[in-house]
Structure 1
Amino acid sequence: MACYSFFFSLIVLLAAVCHGQDAFVCSRATYYGSPKCRATENGACGFGEYGQAVNNGEVTGVSRLYRNGTGCGACYQVRCRIPAHCSDEGVKVVVTDYGEGDHTDFILSTRAYAKLARPNMAEELFAYGVVDIEYQRIPCRYRYNLFLKVHERSNYPHYLAVVPLYKEGMYDIIAVEIWLEDCKEWWPMRRVFGTVFDLQNPPAGPLNFRLQVVAEANAEVKLVQLTSAIPSDWKAGIAYDTAFQLN
């Protein structure tokens, strides 16, 4: 009984260390590489090249935090927990992909994984492969407005797919609607995968959108209207400035 009580007390102590100060949560992280030390070329969020370059390539794939794509674009501070090798600040990453490792919540780009380490300690940290970490969600910060990118698979004027980019703050986009002028109603777009929303036979532009966003899990839904966000002569692969930001 004494051994059991000690073991239980140890678990409670470890949980308190992870979930106490600053709301950090304990988990594990690994990394995946590419020739450019960034993430995979085709991430599950549908960001394309943006998913490799955003935040200076300090990005991550996640497992349960992916939340069927709703977690795409969220920002986290991640710190590893090997005092001899890990920096106090850790790294701030953007979710651009889905991935599962060895009981990990994060699969970091190699650029991001290296920033977990103290100066000149990255090589030693890479040797671990998987490390214990603590993380917390933080607001995203950009120098840009929210953009709506017309996905490359769109086909003017018959098929439209859009991808929100540069989502600030701690908002999650849970749904996207488009205004049908003929019907005088908002029509839901389909979440194809990640943060890609589409519609067959979209209305003629310029196009108005309405985003359903929440600031945190189970929070009240906020409606954000984007007027004339995409022009009538929209083109696949182009990202359009909405002149608006969520934060």
Structure 2
Amino acid sequence: MEIPRRQVRHLSSLLVGMMCIVGSVVVSAQPIHQTVDTHWYPATATWYGDPNGDGSVGGACGYGSLVDVKPLRARVGAVSPVLFKNGEGCGACYKVKCLDGSICSRRAATVIITDECPGGVCSGGRTHFDLSGAAFGRMAMSGESTQLRNRGLIPIVYRRTPCMYRGKGVAFHVNEGSTDYWLSLLVEFEDGDGDVGSMHIREATSNEWLEMTHLWGANWCINGGPLRGPFSVKLSTLSTGRTLSARDVIPRNWSPKATYTSSLNFT
């Protein structure tokens, strides 16, 4: 049985642009440990979309059509607010495993957080995963994925695991509506912790790191200016505070809706 999919609210560039502020220089510590948790925690899970589908396009993290292509394809899921963390949990990776030995595999499925699951079974402080049909079915024994999906709501266990995007660097998508006075970036393919706790940019003509504001999902912004590229981008993870700086990753002649990929990543 499939749990009906919720509607995701879309914010306009005008409204989110009003939330940006110009920050100041920040110096942060750089812990070297990664997000690895050997403990399993109880939760519940449902599924949405087509039975063998990859999940919905878009979602509350803002990844858009990326959820339909590898490496996110068939590995996406929404989580309840306790793990979504107002969008700062976007990009985090989890292993999930169902518990019924008569139908469930012993192996865990890895999922990437791309959406929020508010209300219903996701409310009241519960820890809940709403997975794509394909990800949900991966928890079953061979040949039993349909039977597992027919159960609808099931108990599971979960734990954090490092994200791994082999051969990919951290990418920065310039959101539509960005100008020299309002710049918004979406973070993609972040290895390791997967989540973002803070972001800063630096203009080529400056030594000052300017703090960006978290908008929604995996989107960050800054206003002021005029802002002059090329831009270096520094991001710190939410979970461990590890920091990565990509020098001049966004060129001088950047354009909205373009994606610029660094040669760097956390692993």
By how many angstroms is 1:65 displaced? Answer: 0.8
Partner SS for 1:185 = coil
Which amino acid is the alignment partner of residue 68 of structure 2? Answer: Q
Q: Deviations over 1:94-135 (max 9, x none)?
A: 111111352551000111011111111111111111100001
Instruction: After TM superposition, give the deviation of residue 42 of structure 1 in Å.
Output: 2.1
Decide which structure has greater helix share.
1
| Partner Cα separation in structure 2 for residue 87 and residue 56 of structure 1 | 21
Corresponding position: 1:229 with 2:249: yes
Q: Which amino acid aligns with 1:159?
A: W
Q: Please, which moves more after superposition, 178-187 or 222-231?
A: 178-187
Normalising by structure 1, what TM-score?
0.82
More strand by share: 1
Amino acid at match of 2:227: P
Encode CA deviations 1:128-154: one digit per residue, 9 max, x unaligned: 111000011111111211111112x23
Aligned equivalents of 1:202, 1:51: Cα separation in 2: 33
Aligned length: 222
- The one-letter code sitting in structure 2 at the alignment partner of 1:50 is L
Aligned match of 1:206: 230
Per-residue Cα deviation, 1:58-90 (whole angstroms, up to 9, x for no partner): 111011111111211111110011111111113
Partner SS for 2:72: helix
RCO comparison, higher one (Cα < 8 Å, 6+): 2
Q: Percent identity?
A: 28
Counterpart position of 1:9: none
Question: What are structure 1's unaligned runs of at least 5 residues?
Answer: 1-20
1:90 aligns with 2:113: no
Is residue 169 of structure 2 the alignment partner of residue 127 of structure 1?
A: no
- 1:34–1:40 CA contact under 8 A, matched in 2: no
Task: Return the index of the structure with the highest Cα Rg.
Answer: 1
Partner of 1:13: none
Distance in structure 2 (CA, Å) of the matches to 1:91 and 1:223: 28
Contact 2:88 2:217 in 1 (8 A): yes
Going from structure 1 to structure 2, the CA distance change for 1:29 and 1:104 (only over 3 Å counts) comes to farther
- Match in the other structure for 1:75: 93
Deviation, 1:27, is: 0.7
- The letter of the residue matching 2:245 is Q
Residue 51 (structure 1) shift: 2.7
Letter of the structure 2 residue corresponding to residue 205 of structure 1: G
**Structure 2 residue 73 is matched with structure 1 residue 56:** yes
Task: Output the amino acid matched with 2:73.
Answer: N
1:136-176 C-alpha deviation (Å, 9 max, x unpaired): 1111111211111112x233444321111111112531011
Query: Structure 1 residues 130 and 92, CA, compared in 2 at 3 Å: closer, same or farther?
Result: same
Residues 146 and 73 of structure 1: CA distance in aligned 2, closer, same or farther (over 3 Å): same
The 3 A distance-change label for structure 1 pair 240 and 183 is closer
Counterpart-to-counterpart distance in 2, 1:190 and 1:120: 47
Give me the whole-angstrom Cα distance separating, in 2, the residues matched to 1:160 and 1:134. 39
Q: Per the alignment, do residues 160 and 202 of structure 1 end up closer, same or farther by CA in structure 2, a change over 3 Å counting?
A: farther
